[in-house]
Amino acid sequence: MAVTIPYVRELTFEYGAMQQISPMVRRVIARNPSGFTQAGTGTYIIGKGKVAVIDPGPLDMDHVQAIVNGLKGETITHILITHTHMDHSPATTPLKKLMGNPPSYGYGPHGSGKGVLEGQAVEAGGDKDFVPDVVVRHGDIIKGDGWTVECVHTPGHTSNHICFALLEEKALFTGDHVMGWSTTVISPPDGDMKDYMHSLDILLPRDDATYWPTHGPAIKDPQNFVRAYIAHRQDRETQITACLRDGVGRIKDMVPVMYKDVDEKLWPAAGRSVLAHLLHMVETGRAKCEGEAGPDSVYSAG
């Protein structure tokens, strides 16, 4: 029986407008809607007066100007980057130029959690230009004017993915790690299913009361939502195992079976997540592959 994720998709907003969404948090959403971004990239602002900005968004000057206009008379002291996909970090550079060059904070350049600095290739779609001014690691604390943020390293969607916890509100800004409106694409080589599942596990014992994903509305029952996310991934691996036992050994043949209720336009991305599952399953002996495992390989039951 398929796992039911309690999705939350309803979102009331106006493009270009900065909206107060909690006592300490505001948000402005970029006009970049898609099958991967829902309504668009939500840029969050923490605090008042001297503020932190989380994920400035895509290289869209209308969106950058909306952030600047919404912060008239205020100062950005920190720019926090959850990860370096093109809908999250590229606006950092123009925002810094317009707002007095505040420092950016992040885990590292795109692919850095997988050794890209040592020459490993990563997938297309990464912001290869972003380098944080300040490198942060799991458990680091960032203090601002009236707010405190804890860094939670959550690799999987990307190897440099960081969630940021606003301790005063028990709110976790989850980037693309956990989203209320959809599951997350895990695309190797930088995306890694083993890392992703571990990163979901580390959220369960936390006491966060609310998740604010970069795309979509807030998640108000986060621990149960994460449990459903984990169960969904386990269900996908059960589906893959069933395909392998039925002699369906190629990803291109698995996807139409596993994602028959999903828009075919999203099947290529689904195939990347199936590949991530299979790489994990091969590593743990639950699937086999002749030669090096890849998107066009033939797989069999382990």
Measured distance CA(283)–CA(179) in Å, rounded: 27
Domains contained in the chain, CATH given: 19-220 (3.60.15.10), 230-301 (1.10.10.10)
Predicted local confidence at residue 3, as pLDDT: 80
65-99 tens-digit pLDDT: 999 999 999 999 999 999 999 999 999 999 999 99
pLDDT digits (tens, 9 = 90+) for 239-295: 999 999 999 999 999 999 999 988 898 899 999 999 999 999 999 999 999 889 999
> Per mean pLDDT, which range of 110-114, 139-143, 279-283 is the poorest?
110-114
List 209's β-bridge partners, or say none: none
Cα-atom radius of gyration of the chain, to the nearest Å? 19
Residue 20 burial (10 A CB sphere; 0-12, 13-18, 19+): exposed
Cβ proximity of 137 and 216 under 8 Å: no
